[in-house]
């Protein structure tokens, strides 16, 4: 018995996921959350680097869900004026 496997559905899912991750940069994300990127980067470089690394590995909505309460604290400290 011969089983035919199709690679197309898998490839389409991969390209779909990568298109989401490349739609927004971390800098654009911070701007959308009204967080001043430069102040955040200067005042808390370790947290900034950690968050950027995590953001680059997941969808923005997942990142927001994980950091929901922390984002508000950071926004209050580094609000875009």
Per residue in 24-42, pLDDT (tens digit) is 999 999 999 999 999 999 9
Closest by CA to 61, choosing from 40, 37, 33, 36, is 33
Q: Is the pTM here over 0.75, yes or no?
A: no
Mean pLDDT of the chain: 84
Residue 47: how many other CB atoms lie within 10 Å: 13
């Amino acid at each position: 018995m011969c089983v035919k496997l199709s690679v197309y559905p898998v490839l389409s899912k991969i390209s779909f996921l990568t298109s989401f991750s490349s739609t927004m940069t971390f800098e654009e994300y911070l701007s959308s959350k009204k967080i001043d990127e430069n102040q955040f980067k200067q005042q808390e470089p370790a947290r900034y680097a950690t968050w950027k690394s995590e953001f680059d590995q997941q969808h923005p909505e997942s990142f927001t869900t994980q950091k929901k309460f922390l984002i508000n604290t950071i926004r209050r400290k580094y609000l875009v004026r």
